[in-house]
Structure formats: structure tokens, C-alpha cells
Amino acid sequence: MIADKMKSFVAGSSAIRAMFEEGKKMAAIYGAENVYDFSLGNPSLEPPAAVKEAVLKVLEETSPNELHGYPSNGGFEDVRLAIAQQQNRLHGTNYNEENIIMTVGAAAGLNIILKAILNPGDEVIVFAPFFGEYASYVANYDGVLVTVSPDIQTFQPNMDELEQKITKNTKALIINTPNNPTGVIYSEETLKTLSEILTKKEKEIGHPIYLISDEPYRELFYGDFKIPFVPDFYPNTIIAYSFSKSLSLPGERIGYVTIHSEADGFEELVSAMTVANRISGFVNAPTLWQKVVPYVMDTHVDVSVYKKNRDDLYAILQELGYPCVLGDGAFYLFPQSLIPDDKAFCNAAKEFRLLIVPGSSFGCPGHFRMAYCVDNATIHNAKESLKLLKEKYSK
């Protein structure tokens, strides 16, 4: 009854989501406090108080027909301009509303970017480990996902392999920094090298390689440094952003795409993505949330809470002997599984009511992902289960 392509999608349906559904069932059986659910990046922090205030404000002050009616497919001009001006303030760019398209979250953003640029057979490169949904998004437009193998010592991009894997069919590279699932952040040096490779290869192959920067974790970093602004290093950059994590609003599906002014074919890209927003069925980002954005775009959740979670979880993993790279951002750690078969390992973890996601879901077997956007108590309560899991494989 269903499409052939969908059969494999349904069969290989997101392990993360399956775990999320299983977690809800286990919580009903054992009580939520006895299930240590690190499966989904569902923020534990409440949205900042400013969010509710802004919702109430726009409900009071905006005419209902404007607030809830159809905007342009790219979004309200005033909202897009406000974001453009914020970017100009932060990054010294020269954006206006044309550079910004409001989207149904970053997932929609990535989809309209890929729909706009991919011909069937075009290659999109990702660095393993990567957010598994990229594979679906690229397949949606009959693109070919090309993976660069992980450097499991650092989870920084493997530049030599990147260079080898760029072909005349390469249309784009997706990066995600701070990274899901590793938490690692790319330094300025890394972005500089990346840009040099892409610029050189663009000349060789004779057409643009778009750098798609997926940035839902842009504000979530733990340390006294700045996250580099990708277009500063490479002009052919398109950013997909979401307020899901910075404002703890993942269910509301509100984000935007930034098309850098110096990107090749800027006007054509903007038109194509705006049309893609409409014909893909998104039509436009939810309007109430669009109108809320200008009031809350400069605020974010208290990241010190996530930092403490990360520090506590990392200390426990170290103490118990789980090898793990310490990432400085997002809300994930990506330790090694204690047996090569990470799926079996994550299945075994369920015995101890511990929900963790196999690295295979991110193109990086032999690891598992823990989303630490949970109550701090969950991390400490999970220690015993992590210990028992370790002991199971230490006989």
C-alpha cells in the first residue's frame, strides 16, 4: 500500500524516536523517576519567562487577522528584518529581510535548502558522526549522502578524507557545530582549513559547493569563547537555525534560514527557497511564533544548568571507565560503547532502565549518545545503571 522508498524509511525508522516512544512506555510502568532517559534532545529547561510574556504581548497588541493570517511564504518582513539587524549587530554583516527566510524549525530549513539546490544524484557530504535525519533529508530530493569517516580521538573533521571525497557531483557539505551527537565545536582554525579546501575544490570542479551550517545549538556552549560565524570564513554559506534549543521550544517549529549575501546565485537561492517553503507544504513558519521572535531572539535558556549536567555526567563516565571525548557545546556526550556492537549495547542498557542511542544512528558505530538535557538528578540516579552496564561487559 505504501511507497517502496517509505518501506525502508519505516523499517529503519529513527532509533532515537523509537527510544523516545519506548521511554514513555517504560516511565508508565516503572515511574518516570526510575527510567533514565537520555534518548531525545528534548530540552529539560523551561523557556525563559520572556517567551510567555512575548506571547501574551503579541496576542494583546497585534490584530488577530495579521497575527494568524497568511504572511508572505518567506515570513513577515518586519520579523525577518529584525533578525537581519540582529545578525548585523552580532556579526557586522549587511543583511536585510531578503537574507532571512522564516521556517518551520531547522528541519524545514534544511529541507528547503536541499530542495532548492539538489538535482537527483548530486552529492552532499557529511562528517560522521552526524545527525541521522540528514540521510532522510538528502534522500527526499534524490541526493546522494557521502560520509567522511570520523576521527574518534577528537571528533574534529577529517580534512584529508573530505578533500578526497569531493567530486564534480558535490553540491553541498553539511556541518553542525556545536555538534549533535558529539558536543564538539569547530574552531576558527578548522573553519579556515575547511574553507580553503572548499574554495580550491570549487575552482577545480567549476561550480559552487554550498556549506550548509545546521546551527540549532549555536547558543549552547560551555566556556569563555565565541562560536565562530561560519560565513566569515566561507561566503557560500547557508545557515539553518532554530529556536528549539536556545528557547526550549522544539515542539513549536520556529526557526529561520540565513542566506549569506555573498553566496553564489543569492537572488536565485532566495526565490527557490521561498517557493520550496510553499510547495513542500510548510507554506510559512507559524505566525504567532514569528511575531514572538523579535522580543526573545536575544535571550536564551540558562546554559550553566546544561554545563553542570555535562560536567557531572562526564565525571561519572570517567570514573566508571567509559572513554569519551569532552565536547564544549550542545547537550550531548558520545562515549564509546563497551562492545563493538553498539545496538546490542544500547539494548542491554534497557535492562537497567537506561535509554541511550546507538552510534550507528549517527553513522558512527561503537559509540552511544547521551542527551544530558535532563534533570540533574537523573544523571546522578543513572550512575548505578551505568555501573551495572559496565560490569556486565567487564566479566
Q: Which of residues 2-31 bind a copy of itself (CB under 8 A)?
A: 2-6, 9-10, 13-14, 17, 20-21
Burial of residue 148 (number of CB atoms within 10 Å: 0-12, 13-18, 19+): buried
Site for a copy of itself in 273-302 (CB under 8 A): 275-276, 278-290
**Applying CB under 8 A, does 43 fall inside the site for a copy of itself?**
yes
Whose cell is 523499517? That residue is 11
Residue 334 grid coordinates: 558520545
Residues in contact with a copy of itself, counted by CB under 8 A, come to a total of 78
Question: Nearest approach, Cβ of 288 to a copy of itself (angstroms)?
Answer: 6
DSSP state of 75: -
Alpha helix ranges (H) inside the chain: 4-11, 15-30, 49-61, 64-68, 77-91, 105-117, 133-140, 159-165, 188-205, 266-279, 287-296, 303-320, 342-349, 376-381, 383-392
118 binds a copy of itself (CB under 8 A): yes
Minimum CB–partner distance for residue 159 and a copy of itself (Å): 25
Of the candidates 25, 31, 52, 323, which one interacts with a copy of itself according to CB under 8 A?
A: 52
C-beta of 75 vs 327, nearer to a copy of itself:
75
Q: Each residue of 282-296: b (16+ CB within 10 Å) or e?
A: bebbbbbbbbbbbbb
Of 35, 100, 110, 128, the residue at the interface with a copy of itself (CB under 8 A) is: 110
Q: Considering the rule CB under 8 A, would residue 370 count as an interface residue with a copy of itself?
A: no
- Distance separating alpha carbons of residues 116 and 122, to the nearest angstrom: 12
- C-beta of 153: minimal distance to a copy of itself in Å? 32
268 near a copy of itself, rule: CB under 8 A = yes
Question: Which residue among 15, 79, 116, 325 contacts a copy of itself (CB under 8 A)?
Answer: 116
Instruction: Assess 391 for contact with a copy of itself (CB under 8 A).
Output: no
Quote the CA–CA distance of 242 and 105 in Å, as a whole number.
5
Scan for cell 552529492, then name that residue.
123
CB nearer a copy of itself, residue 37 or residue 314: 37
